[in-house]
């Protein structure tokens, strides 16, 4: 999926690349930076994180040191969080710093920020293919967000759970969650123009889900809407976000059997630097549909090069989604058509490795997402239905009592009238 989705909850505050550090941090450097105010430290950190990571870490540590010096728990937590961003290649350290930020935040009265930290922790596990742990922390984020009535982070947590559901092939459930997220984003558009980017990112994810579910007409209508809305955004991000919809259009063109147009649109979306803009999921889909489009045009060798790019991603990152399997099947079929048994065996082995990774990553997550998200949700709905039925039953019961009293009163009235009439007749006869 695009970088914007995986960093959905940060939304363009920072674009993070690989970081490594060799520079020693002297106490003198830190002491000079500690004299700066927190806002300057934070702003400078984000400004140079990508380009000068070895200096950015100075600002993070200065923020943390200044927070401790002033005994400001909120600033200490932020310092730990900033420091976590400087350890992208060390999962253990990164999680340690995030956990420290969470521990400190729990001691403050500002609990809303906990939702952000749990979402971030879930994201870190997500990009490391630890989907079980990722789901755990998205659910924690959702719980805290609901407790604090934080609609923004309820939406973000639901969005990320929807992405996991889509990976499992639960497209209808993913669509339902994306639509809830869109509804919230749309409600904010009139007063928060900057939310248009967030809205469009979610819209693009819904479109992709429709495509996976073979709902091409629905996806096309929504993609046209997204394209038009992107063109109206004047800020620089508008030019970048439109690439999501061009990419979607390329895949839609493939499904409409417009193969040359599909190739053109997908290639245009990947430029100028596909690795910086797209995360592995979208790259895999881009290469898959470029390969399939070339195959459809009888350019099998060209198609093979794209399928092998998917294999390279799997070999380098161990990142797999359902679409990676399709690429291996295409490669095996190609070598089978040539009678090349050695390469057939090689890629059959790689397909088996792909399948073992997929089962490891997703099987337990599927059980967990049913047990910890879907089942509690269904139980809550069940309780609500029982409550509603009980209320209806109580209403009916009290209504029946009221009706019975009315009937008794009316009956008594008529009996009294009849008795009076009989008495009058008796008097007249006398």
Which three-class secondary structure state does DSSP give residue 393?
helix
CB 307 within 8 A of CB 288: yes
Is 413's pLDDT higher than 80? Answer: no
Q: Residue 415: what pLDDT?
A: 73
Q: Which fold has domain 169-275?
A: 1.25.40
C-alpha radius of gyration, the chain, whole number: 30
CB-neighbour burial class of residue 355 (10 A; exposed 0-12, middle 13-18, buried 19+): middle
Q: Residue 9: what pLDDT?
A: 39
Listed in sequence order, the residues at least 6 apart from 240 whose beta carbon sits closer than 8 Å to its beta carbon are 277
CB 179 within 8 A of CB 202: no
Task: Give the range among 88-92, 287-291, 331-335, 378-382 with minimum mean pLDDT.
Answer: 378-382
What are the DSSP E strand ranges found in 198-321?
A: none
Q: Distance between CA atoms of 67 and 5, rounded to whole angstroms?
A: 31
184 or 273, greater pLDDT: 184
Q: How high is the mean pLDDT of the chain? A: 83
Is 414's pLDDT higher than 60? Answer: yes
Q: Which CATH superfamily is domain 1-164 in?
A: Tetratricopeptide repeat domain (1.25.40.10)
Q: Residue 251: what pLDDT?
A: 96
Q: Residue 242: what pLDDT?
A: 87
Q: Residue 240: what pLDDT?
A: 77
Task: Give the range among 1-5, 30-34, 328-332, 409-413 with minimum mean pLDDT.
Answer: 1-5
- Contacts made by residues 233-241, CB under 8 angstroms, sequence distance 24+: 233/196, 233/197, 233/200, 235/194, 235/197, 237/12, 237/197, 238/197, 240/277, 241/4, 241/197, 241/200, 241/201
Confidence of residue 54 (pLDDT cuts 50, 70, 90): confident
Is 281's pLDDT higher than 60? Answer: yes
Residues of the chain with CATH 1.25.40.10: 1-164
Confidence of residue 359 (pLDDT cuts 50, 70, 90): confident
382 or 142, greater pLDDT: 142
Is 308's pLDDT higher than 80? Answer: yes
Q: Distance between CA atoms of 158 and 42, rounded to whole angstroms?
A: 28
37 or 376, greater pLDDT: 37
> How big is the chain, counted in residues?
430
214 or 5, greater pLDDT: 214
Q: Distance between CA atoms of 287 and 309, rounded to whole angstroms?
A: 7
Confidence of residue 88 (pLDDT cuts 50, 70, 90): confident
C-alpha of 390 from chain center: 37
Using CA atoms in the order 357, 360, 366, 367, what is the torsion angle rounded to 10 degrees?
Answer: 170
Is 189's pLDDT higher than 50? Answer: yes
Q: Distance between CA atoms of 208 and 282, rounded to whole angstroms?
A: 10
């Amino acid at each position: 999926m695009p970088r914007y989705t995986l960093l959905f909850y940060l939304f363009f505050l920072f674009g993070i690349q690989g970081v490594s550090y060799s520079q020693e941090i002297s106490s003198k450097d830190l002491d000079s930076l500690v004299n700066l105010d927190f806002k300057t430290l934070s702003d400078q950190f984000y400004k140079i994180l990508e380009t000068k990571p070895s200096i950015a870490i100075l600002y993070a540590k200065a923020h943390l040191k200044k927070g401790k010096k002033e005994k400001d728990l909120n600033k200490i937590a932020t310092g730990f969080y900033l420091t976590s961003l400087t350890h992208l290649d060390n999962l253990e350290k990164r999680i340690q710093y995030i956990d420290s930020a969470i521990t400190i935040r729990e001691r403050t009265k500002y609990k809303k920020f906990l939702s952000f930290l749990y979402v971030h922790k879930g994201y870190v596990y997500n990009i490391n293919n630890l989907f079980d742990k990722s789901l755990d922390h998205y659910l924690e984020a959702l719980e805290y967000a609901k407790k604090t009535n934080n609609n923004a982070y309820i939406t973000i947590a639901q969005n990320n759970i929807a992405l996991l559901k889509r990976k499992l092939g639960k497209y209808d459930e993913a669509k339902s969650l994306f639509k809830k997220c869109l509804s919230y984003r749309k409600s904010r558009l009139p007063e928060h123009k900057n939310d248009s980017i967030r809205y469009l990112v979610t819209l693009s994810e819904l479109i992709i889900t429709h495509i996976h579910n073979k709902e091409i007409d629905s996806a096309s209508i929504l993609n046209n809407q997204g394209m038009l809305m992107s063109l109206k955004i004047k800020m620089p991000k508008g030019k970048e976000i439109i690439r999501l919809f061009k990419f979607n259009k390329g895949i839609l063109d493939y499904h409409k059997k417009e193969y040359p147009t599909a190739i053109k649109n997908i290639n245009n979306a990947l430029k100028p630097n596909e690795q910086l803009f797209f995360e592995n999921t979208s790259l895999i889909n881009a290469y898959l549909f470029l390969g399939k489009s070339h195959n459809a045009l009888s350019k099998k060798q060209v198609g093979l090069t794209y399928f092998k790019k998917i294999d390279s991603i799997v070999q380098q990152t161990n990142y797999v989604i359902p679409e990676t399997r399709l690429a291996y099947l295409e490669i095996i079929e190609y070598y089978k058509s040539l009678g090349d048994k050695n390469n057939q065996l090689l890629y059959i082995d790689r397909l088996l490795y792909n399948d073992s990774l997929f089962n490891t990553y997703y099987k337990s997550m599927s059980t967990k997402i049913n047990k910890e998200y879907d089942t509690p949700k269904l139980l809550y709905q069940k309780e609500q239905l029982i409550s509603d039925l009980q209320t209806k039953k109580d209403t009916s019961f009290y209504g029946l009592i009221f009706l019975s009293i009315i009937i008794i009163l009316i009956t008594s009235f008529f009996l009294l009238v009849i008795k009076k009439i009989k008495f009058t007749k008796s008097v007249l006869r006398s």
